[in-house]
Structure 1
Amino acid sequence: MVAGRFRFFDARVLRTRRLGPTLTRITFGGPQLAGFASGGRDQSFSLFLPHPGQDAPLLPDRTGDGWHRAWRALPEAERAVLRSYTVRAQRRDPDEVDVDFALHGTGPDDPPGAAGPASHWAAHAAPGDRAVLLGPAFADNRSVGFRPPPGTDWVLLAADETALPALGGILEHLPADTVVRAWIEVPHPSDIQDLPHGPGSEIVWLVREPGAAGSPLTEALESAALPGGTPYAWLAGEASAVRALRRHLVREVGVDRTRVTFSGYWRRGASEEQLRSERAAAAAS
């Protein structure tokens, strides 16, 4: 058990389904997932994956809160690959969890070694493959970030493909009559999905130019006609793009900064291990 409200859950791959050129959905199952309590929306969790040649992810003793220090003490080439993901959907009877993966660096034109270990694993995952989830044992938990405050008249969503699963979960969570304006950036036209949304919602898909260094999200929002009233904004994706979006909304549009939830799911040129180390160092300082 970790801090009481989160636990480790052993799971296996049940099936996989390709959603587009750079996106795949993996469905996990297993008896332990009966205790996995997704909070919906942008519920995040930690996923532990094996290295090639390993039957299962290598983890230290999981009964105490010192697991992370013990995990870091293991040889990097052997210890379980650790990544953060979002629950796309959860079902009961049987207990299943869907997770959507962005397959960066796994295309036929990508050079060998371009994919990170999680993308490589997801691209080759097959039924029976083992993984471990570190996630919520209670639905109301701190790993759910989408929380519109009272007095919200409409919702603004902006995300790239890494945050697309979370955005989809948010749309499913919202009442059908919610006024929503959403912008979603993807690498390929075939990555565009049919997402659930009500009659008051508008979704704009932005296809990133091949080789583009930046994100088209900021330019799209700068030229957008936004509804009147008090908004709540949720922004997620590449860290520098998310920061630019937040600055625009707060400084140029005049959105109260307390009504903007933003999260850098990844940063160009940095691994998740680097980002986790930086966050840990900042928290300790």
Structure 2
Amino acid sequence: MAGPERVAAVAPRFIELEVLDNQQVSPHIRRVTLGGDEVSAMTPQGFDQWFRFFMRREGQEALRVPKSPSTWFPQYLAMREQHRPWIRNYTVRDFRLDAGELDIDIVCHEDPGPGAAWAMAAERGERAVLLDEGLLYNDDGLEGEILMVGDESVLPAVAGVCGSLEDDARGTVVLEIGHRDDIQEFRRPAGVDIRWVERGSLREGQAALEELRGMRMPEEFGYAYAAGEQQLATGARRHLVRDRGIDKRRITFTGYWKLGKAYVS
């Protein structure tokens, strides 16, 4: 059986946005602030609220998106290739609904993919569209300690989850980063420990997996959430199930991205 089912978005619709600010917050993380009148149509769910993000490709005069949020993918495939937008998945880093704003943190490396390249070039007024997809994190009321494992692409999700947990929550977060200056401070329960692991010369995900394999599992294990590079997410789940004997129904895992491969959606 699979782990807990994801939590659906509330009345999902296409939300039109424009870039309000764009800043480099650490060596590999860029924060894009977007806003617009339609932001208030979203329902903040906290945790790792994620969305499809539609961006204008290089050379396109205008951003074009499908018409229907429920059948967007067939419509996307039916679009002429030169008219198709870039589509990537991101997590809300912060909501400021009163101001009609939200932040997205995007990982930017030396060889940026389409999303990172867009983030580095996006100027004030640049148009974008998002489609809310709800939550992946769902502990389904399980009691016990929480374990979260990921890389820097999971930082917004971890920050959102930690900010949404009850104050008495306990657990451990293992976050692999490319540079110690990518470490971020965010609210978390006092009982949640964060282990920052620098990647060094290792392949993406290996340092986090090594840290996980060396950890002592809590006696009262509740729920695990593993995300980031695909081999990191699947490797963490495999280790927890095969080597630690944890019921797979207590684990949510998802590959945000795959080394050497760009995901369309």
- Shared fold per TM-score greater than 0.5: yes
Q: 1:10 aligns with which of 12, 16, 20?
A: 16
Please state if 1:233 is matched with 2:230.
Answer: no
Residues 171, 191 of structure 2: 8 Å contact kept: yes
Aligned residues: 257
2:169 counterpart letter in structure 1: T
Aligned to 2:38: 32
- Taking a change above 3 Å as real, the CA distance of residues 65 and 223 of structure 1, as seen in their structure-2 partners, is closer
Q: Which of the two has greater strand per residue?
A: 2
Aligned to 1:186: 177
Residues 17, 38 of structure 2: 8 Å contact kept: yes
Aligned to 2:105: 100
Residues 55, 130 of structure 1: 8 Å contact kept: no
SS of 1:221's partner is helix
Residues 90, 98 of structure 1: 8 Å contact kept: yes
User: What CA distance in whole angstroms lies between the structure 2 residues aligned with 1:45 and 1:64?
Assistant: 12
Q: 2:52 aligns with which of 31, 46, 51?
A: 46
2:85 counterpart letter in structure 1: A
User: What CA distance in whole angstroms lies between the structure 2 residues aligned with 1:130 and 1:194?
Assistant: 29
1:258 counterpart letter in structure 2: R
Residues 151, 230 of structure 1: 8 Å contact kept: no
Aligned to 1:204: 195
Please state if 1:166 is matched with 2:171.
Answer: no
2:136 counterpart letter in structure 1: G
Q: CA deviation at 1:22?
A: 0.8
Please state if 1:176 is matched with 2:167.
Answer: yes
Please state if 1:116 is matched with 2:113.
Answer: yes
Unaligned runs of 5+ in 2: 1-8
User: What CA distance in whole angstroms lies between the structure 1 residues aligned with 2:69 and 2:55?
Assistant: 20
Residues 204, 229 of structure 2: 8 Å contact kept: no
User: What CA distance in whole angstroms lies between the structure 2 residues aligned with 1:71 and 1:198?
Assistant: 41
User: What CA distance in whole angstroms lies between the structure 1 residues aligned with 2:69 and 2:19?
Assistant: 26
User: What CA distance in whole angstroms lies between the structure 2 residues aligned with 1:30 and 1:73?
Assistant: 28
**TM-score normalised per structure 2:** 0.90
User: What CA distance in whole angstroms lies between the structure 1 residues aligned with 2:121 and 2:132?
Assistant: 24
User: What CA distance in whole angstroms lies between the structure 2 residues aligned with 1:178 and 1:38?
Assistant: 21
SS of 1:201's partner is strand
Q: 2:88 aligns with which of 80, 83, 89?
A: 83
Q: CA deviation at 1:180?
A: 1.7
Residues 139, 223 of structure 2: 8 Å contact kept: yes
SS of 1:93's partner is helix
Residues 57, 81 of structure 1: 8 Å contact kept: no
User: What CA distance in whole angstroms lies between the structure 2 residues aligned with 1:166 and 1:219?
Assistant: 21
**TM-score normalised per structure 1:** 0.84
Q: Deviations over 1:131-172 (max 9, x none)?
A: 011116xxxxxx312111334211101111111110110000
SS of 1:120's partner is helix
Q: Deviations over 1:101-154 (max 9, x none)?
A: 01133xxxxxxxx32221111012222111011116xxxxxx312111334211
Please state if 1:153 is matched with 2:140.
Answer: no
Residues 23, 103 of structure 1: 8 Å contact kept: yes
Q: CA deviation at 1:28?
A: 0.8
Please state if 1:22 is matched with 2:28.
Answer: yes
1:83 counterpart letter in structure 2: R
Q: CA deviation at 1:211?
A: 6.2
User: What CA distance in whole angstroms lies between the structure 2 residues aligned with 1:237 and 1:177?
Assistant: 26
User: What CA distance in whole angstroms lies between the structure 2 residues aligned with 1:180 and 1:150?
Assistant: 15
1:245 counterpart letter in structure 2: A
Please state if 1:130 is matched with 2:127.
Answer: yes
RMSD: 1.9
Higher RCO, 1 vs 2 (CA within 8 Å, ≥6 residues apart)? 2
